[in-house]
């Protein structure tokens, strides 16, 4: 790899805030195919691959719904399009940005975790669409083996949560309220996950100004504003991480994370942004 190309890749990683990009081309590194998809593909095809993204309103033809492609998108064709692009569309080729190993991992992820999973859902074999199989180094759990009838059972998810009472505009949430199920979050571990998976939308500072925020409507939550500081206690943050938010690009992380992992990232958000913002406001 020449110096110019290496500098360009490092600069891109800094701008996007994707730590995994710093390992591009490094020997022996584990490729995070879900991170590659999130960085290069989700802005058009959506986080779930269904084409439901901010870009869909401005592209003609619109981004393809990969979840409904079925057998029309074999893996080799997906690799060809990712590598070389698709004429007369906004789909560009990534052969100058990703190496062969990364291109192959990304093609596997799209084929196995999005196209095949979408086909299984359409056939009634799997209920629900959030979450991924994790077969290509993603954060998801492995697809369960089919039963005797040939149907894949529904993947297990974390236990249901008790309802979170909405906070009225003139009220303040109980900031001493704990996580459900006796969970205790580890903010340090939560920061590592937040920086890799949440900062692109919510921003490293939690201000909703991440590098992808420009493309997202409604805009990502600003954890530093007054309303957030008054209403986002531990249970509320945890519920948002657990269930996601309908009508937004916030996914339901309960499909791919354990309860402890969700508590960790929720604790980091609470400590780093809600509590720190509250202290900063009192200091003024």
pLDDT in tens, 80-125: 989 988 887 888 888 888 999 999 999 999 988 888 877 666 655 4
Instruction: Name which of 203, 223, 205, 204 is nearest 214 in CA terms.
Output: 203
| 197 vs 282 pLDDT, higher one | 197
* Cβ atoms 90, 66 nearer than 8 A: no
**Superfamily designation of domain 180-283:** Cytochrome c-like domain (1.10.760.10)
| Sequence-separated contacts (24+) of 88-95 with Cβ below 8 Å | 89/59, 89/61, 90/44, 90/55, 90/59, 90/63, 91/44, 94/40
| 126 vs 167 pLDDT, higher one | 167
Return the exposure string of 171-207: e unless at least 16 CB atoms fall within 10 Å of the residue's CB, then b: eebeeeeebbeebebebebbbebbebbbbbbbbebbb
In angstroms, the CA 78 to CA 106 distance is 9
100-109 vs 75-84: helix crossing angle, rounded to 10:
130
- Mean pLDDT on 163-186: 80
In angstroms, the CA 191 to CA 200 distance is 13
In angstroms, the CA 17 to CA 128 distance is 30
Tokens 């100058």 sit on residue: 96
- Supply the pLDDT for residue 282: 54
- Supply the pLDDT for residue 195: 93
187-217 residue pLDDT tens: 999 999 999 989 989 999 999 999 888 877 7
C-alpha distances in angstroms, 72 versus 68, 80, 107, 208, 256? 9, 14, 14, 38, 27
Q: Spell out where the chain has E strands.
A: none
- Supply the pLDDT for residue 188: 96
Query: Phi/psi of residue 85, each to 5°?
Result: 85, 180
Its pTM stands at 0.47
Does the pLDDT of residue 172 top 70, yes or no?
yes
Instruction: Name which of 16, 9, 115, 5 is nearest 67 in CA terms.
Output: 115
Longest dimension (CA), the chain: 65
Q: Facing residues of 85 across strands? A: 92
Indicate the CATH number of 31-122 among 1.10.3720.10, 3.10.180.10, 1.10.760.10, 3.40.50.2000: 1.10.760.10
116-162 residue pLDDT tens: 877 666 655 444 433 333 333 333 333 444 444 444 443 444 445 55
12-71 residue pLDDT tens: 444 344 333 333 343 345 888 888 888 888 888 888 888 887 667 767 788 888 888 777
221-280 residue pLDDT tens: 999 999 898 999 999 999 999 888 777 778 888 878 899 999 999 999 999 999 885 555
Domain ranges of the chain: 31-122, 180-283
Q: What is the C-alpha end-to-end distance of the chain, expressed in Å?
A: 50
């Amino acid at each position: 790899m020449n110096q110019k190309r290496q500098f360009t890749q490092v600069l891109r990683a800094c701008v996007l805030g994707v730590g995994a990009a710093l390992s591009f081309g490094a020997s022996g590194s584990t490729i995070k195919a879900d991170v590659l998809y999130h960085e290069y593909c989700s802005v058009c095809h959506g986080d779930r691959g269904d084409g439901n993204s901010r870009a869909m309103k401005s592209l003609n033809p619109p981004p393809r719904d990969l979840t409904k492609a079925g057998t029309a998108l074999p893996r080799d064709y997906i690799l060809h399009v990712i590598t070389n692009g698709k004429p007369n569309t906004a789909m560009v080729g990534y052969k100058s940005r990703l190496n062969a190993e990364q291109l192959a991992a990304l093609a596997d992820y799209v084929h196995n975790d999005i196209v095949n999973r979408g086909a299984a859902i359409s056939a009634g074999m799997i209920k629900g669409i959030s979450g991924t199989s994790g077969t290509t180094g993603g954060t998801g759990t492995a697809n369960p083996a089919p039963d005797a009838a040939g149907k894949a059972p529904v993947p297990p998810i974390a236990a249901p949560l008790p309802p979170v009472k909405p906070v009225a505009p003139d009220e303040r949430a109980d900031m001493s309220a704990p996580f459900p199920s006796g969970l205790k979050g580890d903010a340090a571990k939560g920061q590592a996950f937040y920086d890799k998976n949440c900062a692109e939308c919510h921003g490293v500072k939690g201000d909703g100004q991440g590098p992808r925020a420009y493309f997202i409507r409604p805009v990502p939550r600003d954890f530093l504003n007054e309303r957030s500081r008054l209403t986002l206690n531990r249970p509320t943050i945890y519920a948002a991480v657990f269930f996601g938010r309908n009508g937004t690009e916030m996914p339901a992380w309960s499909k791919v994370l354990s309860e402890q992992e969700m508590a960790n990232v929720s604790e980091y958000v609470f400590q780093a942004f809600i509590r720190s913002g509250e202290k900063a406001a009192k200091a003024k």
